[in-house]
Structure 1
Amino acid sequence: MLIGRRPTLRRAALTAGAVFSLLLLAGVASAEVLGQPTPGGLGLPATVTEVGAETQFFYNVILLPIISFIGLFVLGLLIYVCWRFNEHANPVPSKLTHHTGLEVVWTLVPVLILVFIAIPSFRLLAHQVEIPEPKVTIKVTGNQWYWSYAYPEDQGGGFSFDQFMKTDADLKPENGDVRLLSVDNEAVVPVGEVIKLQVVASDVIHSYTIPAFTVRIDAVPGRLNETWFKAEKEGIFYGQCSKICGKDHAFMPAAIRVVSKEKYAEWLVEAKKKFAKVDDGRVRVAAEADAR
């Protein structure tokens, strides 16, 4: 019987190893296109920030192997128990109910695993929460169903604008537009600089999420939340509202374009002219409405 069982056990071990390898592959593999989802993509999206790299290292190298081993170990234990202690193999069941040593082990080992995970987790959390001295501060307001951006005057801004999703009729694939993600007015930031986001909502709870920056923070009415990122590569990076905020929740993308410092300075000059006219128009409309 033992000789007959060895091939089966060997196949089971190989299968478990294959499953474990696939789990690791799923964690390590990343999106092929920066800043947007990849059809058929596997694993976490590619990141362009230091915090994002630390987060993915924590998940891929520390957390995923641990939880994969625990899952496979428990599965193997269940299979062994079903095989070893079934009714046919043990017609007379054991009356053992407690084992002090075993109870100490299965209490102590999970505690040690959690402590091992907690140490790098707290370090990563501190890096995410503690905001360095920012070069640019942007106030992001979530509305149903679009985002508003305000650049402060003391940092060369002094203007604000709304960001709406482009309709299918307005898309220009030759210019790189992406359906359900491209917007009319992209937010622009300089590469290699600390960007602080102050996030709030005007109506219901939203969630501002840019996966490539490892940024996700709730936008809550009456509460100002803050987060930050420092993009190390230029490009256009998309995100979406991650809260179910109403009927057009699925049509509320966010887009941030990272450019060189020189191009950012040029954009500021153009944006002041472009969005100052928009703001003036809003003031006139509001004044006319108040007069009526």
Structure 2
Amino acid sequence: MAMVMSLVTYMLVSLMKMFKNNPMSYKYLTHGTTLEVMWTMFPAVILVTMAFPSFVLLYLSDDVVNPAMTIKAMGYQWYWVYEYSDFINDNGETVQLESYIMPDDLLEVGQLRLLDVDNRVVVPVDTHMRFMVTAGDVMHCFSMPSLGVKMDAMPGRLNQISTLMQREGMFYGQCQELCGIGHSEMPIVIESVNLDNFLE
């Protein structure tokens, strides 16, 4: 590396001496203001032209338009509370459930240790859904990698993200924000079923 640096330095110093002492050097070759403005402005115009549609698309992709269903996910130390905002129970209240990690001694065959919960979020397949995410105590993170969903849950702030389940099955996730001693005990399980089973 030292040899390359020495060679480049020697060439640079030689060129500087040659142009300084040469009375025949053409001054517009060393100082071309028009050329410098052109090679600066042309890439800038291209970047602005590319950036404008990108920002428009970014804001449009973040906008949730008329979801068929809204679920509010609230993180607490160390469990999740889900509220089906569009459904009302017999008492006139929105349907709400608490989801805790399944203890090892209650696991059944086929259930996943540290990933299964006592109350799963059940949603219909092929339905546009909006998740409203918040927290009640410290920062949490509602993360479902298989759905491409990751949203911070912060106290006093309501974030939203949309998703569309295109197949039936179980989707597993975890809290991705270090939220205390029970951080690893905050799994998220979403079960996607067909519409008839969901309405039952």
Matches within 5 A, 1:1-292: 85-87=4-6, 89=7, 92-95=10-13, 109=43, 112=46, 116=50, 119-120=53-54, 122-127=56-61, 129-152=62-85, 154-155=86-87, 158-172=94-108, 174-175=109-110, 177-266=111-200
Distance 1:240 1:110, change over 3 A: farther
Residue ranges of structure 2 left out of the alignment (5+ in a row): 17-29
1:240–1:122: structure 2 CA closer, same or farther, 3 Å change rule?
A: farther
What amino acid is the match of 2:4?
F
Distance change >3 Å, CA 138–CA 111, structure 1 → 2: same
Identity %: 32
Considering only CA atoms, is the larger Rg found in Structure 1 or Structure 2?
Answer: 2
Q: Is the 8 A contact 1:144 1:246 kept in 2?
A: yes
In the TM superposition, what whole-angstrom CA distance separates every residue of 1:93-139 from its partner, at most 9, and x where no partner exists?
A: 41379997789758965884686477346414422x21121222111
Report the AA paired with residue 183 of structure 1.
V
Provide the alpha-carbon RMSD of the alignment.
3.2
Q: Which residue of 2 aligns with 1:30?
A: none
- Structure having the higher strand fraction is 2
Bigger fraction of residues in helix: 1
Tell me the CA shift for residue 203 of structure 1. 0.4
Q: Distance in 2 between matches of 1:160 and 1:130?
A: 26
User: Does the residue aligned with 1:200 lie in a helix, a strand or coil?
Assistant: strand
Aligned-pair distance for 1:164?
A: 1.1
The separation in 2 between residues aligned to 1:147 and 1:245, in whole angstroms, is 13
What does the per-residue CA deviation read over 1:234-282, in whole Å, with 9 as the maximum and x for residues that have no partner? 111111112111111122111111110001011xxxxxxxxxxxxxxxx
The alpha-carbon deviation at position 169 of structure 1 amounts to 2.6
Contact 1:132/1:194 (<8 A) preserved: no
Gaps of 5+ in 1: 1-81, 267-292
Classify the secondary structure of the residue corresponding to 2:184: helix
Number of paired residues? 180
What TM-score, normalized by structure 2, do the two folds share? Answer: 0.73
